[in-house]
């Protein structure tokens, strides 16, 4: 199929979470709920934390999804109720599968809190397929050097998950997924074949791009026409993400940090979190990560 302009352009919804910490949310959007299995797409920072300051996302629950964290700058400490405790740095991937339920926290590591740091990255959620929605929770850390790295028309590419441009990532997911990070080391030009994935998008974290005469500004997402070959021209220094895959098997509903097929499952997830709090985490559906005592209370329904 010949190359085409984007089918949709999505502009971010920007939220300030305090102390200048900005979140730009691209998915879900009114115009588009999902791209492949990607159901949630956030760009956070860059934000500078002075010495003694940091990010503190207290323990909170998830079901029915995998969270995927990728950093451009800085470091984050991940802790979860399975006992995983490690720091993610730029180029690596943290892949946490919630399944039937997991609780985790994300905080600035002690060293970076002491010295100060700039934090900048992408967090996405991918909806688990129906057959895996109630799987056991799991967590995998993938160091940067384990992920395929290659050049593409003047851009340096990092294959984060799935298959792309003839390569395969060691990051596994039980659904066809396509996820890459790129940096234009010069004015970059390349074509994304229509066969790369059934649903595809590009997000411009920094810089700008031209897609068949359509300008894509920083912080914009373009959804590509299915099956079309896409000609990209990226400004030198641009950082971008390519995401997509097969359409997920059915619609998904979101409530707070929960993803499920039915409203009833969301109601049960909320009840399970509240019951865990009420039971002080003893013999409860959720527990706190080792060493954590704080948690995020269940919010009121919107």
Could you read off the pLDDT of 95-130 as tens digits, one per residue? 999 999 999 999 999 999 999 999 999 999 999 999
pLDDT at position 152, please?
Answer: 98
Domain that holds residue 228: 8-245
pLDDT in the model for residue 72? 98
pLDDT of the residue at 302: 45
Please check the confidence at residue 78 and state whether its pLDDT lies above 60.
yes
Residue 71 belongs to some domain of the structure: yes
Determine phi and psi for 115, rounding to 5 degrees: -95, -20
pLDDT at res. 282: 96
Question: Does pTM top 0.75 for this prediction?
Answer: yes
Is a pLDDT exceeding 90 seen at residue 19? no
300 falls in which pLDDT band (50, 70, 90)? confident
Q: Is residue 3 part of a domain?
A: no
Report the share of the chain in percent with pLDDT over 70: 96
Asked if pLDDT for residue 71 goes beyond 60, the answer is yes
250 lies in some domain: no
Confidence of residue 18 (pLDDT cuts 50, 70, 90): low
Confirm whether 41 is domain-assigned.
Answer: yes
Alpha-carbon separation of residue 39 from 33, 43, 188, 258, 269 (angstroms): 6, 14, 29, 11, 18
Distance CA 192, CA 182 (A): 13
- Most confident range, picked from 5-9, 17-21, 141-145: 141-145
Structure tokens at 50: 């002075």
Indicate if the pLDDT at residue 301 is higher than 70: no
CATH number at 198 reads 2.60.120.10
Task: Tell me whether residue 102 is in a domain.
Answer: yes
Residues 6+ positions from 212 with CB-CB distance below 8 Å = 3, 4, 5, 230, 231
| Residue 2 within any structural domain of the chain | no
Give the residue among 139, 147, 87 at the shortest CA–CA distance from 117.
87
- pLDDT, greater one: 267 or 16: 267
User: Which pLDDT value is given to residue 1?
Assistant: 43
Q: Quick count: other Cβ atoms within 10 Å of Cβ 291? A: 8
Share of the chain above pLDDT 90, in %: 92
**Domain tally for the chain?**
1
Tens digit of pLDDT for each residue in 264-296? 999 999 999 999 999 999 999 999 999 999 999
pLDDT exceeds cutoff 70 at 299:
yes
Query: Residue 298: inside a domain, yes or no?
Result: no
Coil, helix or strand at residue 294: coil
Residue 59 CA from chain centroid, whole number: 18
Does residue 42 carry a pLDDT above 90? yes
Classify residue 17: in a domain, yes or no.
yes
Tell me the average pLDDT of the chain.
95
CA dihedral 90, 75, 22, 259 (to 10 degrees): 80
- The alpha carbon of 70 is separated from its chain's Cα centroid by a whole number of angstroms, namely 7
């Amino acid at each position: 199929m010949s190359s085409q302009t984007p089918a949709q352009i999505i502009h971010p919804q920007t939220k300030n979470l305090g102390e200048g910490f900005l979140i730009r949310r691209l998915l879900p959007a009114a115009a588009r709920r999902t791209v492949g299995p990607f159901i949630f797409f956030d760009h956070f920072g860059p934000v500078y934390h002075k010495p003694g300051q940091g990010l503190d996302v207290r323990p909170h629950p998830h079901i029915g999804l995998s969270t995927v964290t990728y950093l451009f700058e800085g470091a984050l400490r991940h802790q979860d109720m399975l006992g995983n405790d490690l720091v993610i740095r730029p180029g690596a991937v943290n892949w946490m599968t919630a399944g039937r339920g997991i609780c985790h926290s994300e905080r600035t590591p002690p060293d970076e809190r002491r010295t100060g740091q700039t934090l900048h990255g992408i967090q996405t959620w991918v909806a688990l397929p129906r057959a895996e929605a109630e799987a056991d929770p799991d967590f995998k850390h993938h160091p940067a050097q384990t992920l395929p790295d290659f050049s593409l028309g003047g851009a340096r590419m990092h294959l984060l998950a799935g298959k792309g441009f003839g390569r395969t990532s060691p990051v596994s997911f039980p659904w066809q997924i396509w996820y890459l990070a790129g940096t234009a080391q010069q004015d970059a030009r390349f074509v994304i074949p229509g066969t790369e994935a059934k649903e595809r998008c590009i997000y411009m974290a920094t810089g700008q791009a031209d897609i068949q005469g359509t300008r894509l500004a920083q912080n914009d997402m373009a959804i590509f026409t299915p099956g079309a070959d896409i000609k990209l021209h990226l400004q030198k220094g641009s950082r971008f993400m390519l995401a997509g895959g097969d359409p997920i098997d059915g619609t998904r509903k979101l409530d707070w940090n929960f993803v499920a097929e039915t409203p009833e499952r969301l109601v049960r997830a909320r009840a399970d979190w509240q019951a865990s709090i009420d039971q002080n985490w003893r013999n409860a559906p959720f527990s706190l990560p080792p060493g954590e005592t704080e948690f995020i209370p269940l919010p009121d329904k919107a």
